[in-house]
């Protein structure tokens, strides 16, 4: 309600997506059905994200983000509309969002078109960290930090899986003990000694 841009920050599996999905469902329960568009800004180049002028024809080619924002802003109702940018921050694409994130709430494109972020629209950035964000970017958004230092992500998956099984209670207790005994040390060993293809 306070911020029109929010960073949900934390490691993979910490519950960032679940947080905004549950909030959207809660909105629906009170009659505020939320329109959600979830996209990853890292899957395209910056030009394809915001749009560009084709050199051969001098025509404007809409980008993924610009088209999505325009489509959301043309919906006439006043129900909540959330644009979720699910991907790590990158200095190439995030700097162009500063004008949207400040009080102007305007996305200015290379074609000089301006797309307004309406009062019922929100931007949610689902990110791992703020390593590539400038102070100007960070100061324009609210931050929800979801930590997982206690390892609750894998423990939650294990607990859910064990509870679904149709085993005797004693078997479930013993299996939980084995997970608690071996998995933390295994994960720590992997983190320290293995080279990861994907960070």
For residue 165, how far is the Cα from the chain centroid? 32
Cα-based distances in Å from 32 to 28, 37, 68, 134, 140: 5, 16, 21, 34, 26
- Give domain limits for the chain: 5-145, 152-193
What confidence score (pLDDT) does residue 95 get? 82
Going by C-alpha positions, the residue among 84, 91, 57 that lies closest to residue 69 is 84
What is the CATH T-level fold of the domain 5-145, as seen in this structure?
Answer: Rossmann fold (3.40.50)
CB 96 within 8 A of CB 46: yes
What confidence score (pLDDT) does residue 58 get? 85
Query: Which segments in the chain show pLDDT lower than 50?
Result: none
Give the tens place of pLDDT for each residue, 127-156.
988 888 888 888 888 999 988 776 677 888
């Amino acid at each position: 309600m306070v911020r029109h841009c929010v960073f949900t920050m934390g490691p993979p599996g910490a519950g960032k997506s679940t947080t905004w999905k549950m909030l959207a469902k809660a909105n629906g329960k009170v009659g505020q059905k939320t329109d959600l568009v979830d996209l990853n800004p890292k899957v395209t180049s910056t030009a394809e994200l915001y749009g560009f002028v084709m050199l051969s024809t001098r025509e404007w080619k809409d980008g993924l983000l610009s088209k999505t924002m325009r489509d959301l802003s043309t919906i006439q109702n006043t129900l909540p509309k959330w644009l979720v940018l699910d991907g790590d921050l990158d200095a190439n694409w995030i700097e162009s969002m500063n004008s949207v994130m400040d009080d102007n709430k305007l996305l200015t494109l290379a074609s000089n078109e301006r797309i307004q972020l309406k009062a019922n629209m929100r931007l949610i950035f689902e990110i791992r960290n703020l390593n590539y964000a400038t102070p100007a970017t960070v100061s324009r958004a609210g931050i929800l930090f979801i930590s997982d230092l206690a390892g609750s992500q894998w423990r939650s998956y294990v607990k859910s899986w064990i509870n679904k099984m149709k085993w005797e209670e004693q078997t479930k207790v013993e299996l939980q003990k084995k997970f608690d005994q071996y998995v933390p040390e295994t994960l720590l060993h992997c983190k320290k000694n293995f080279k990861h293809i994907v960070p």
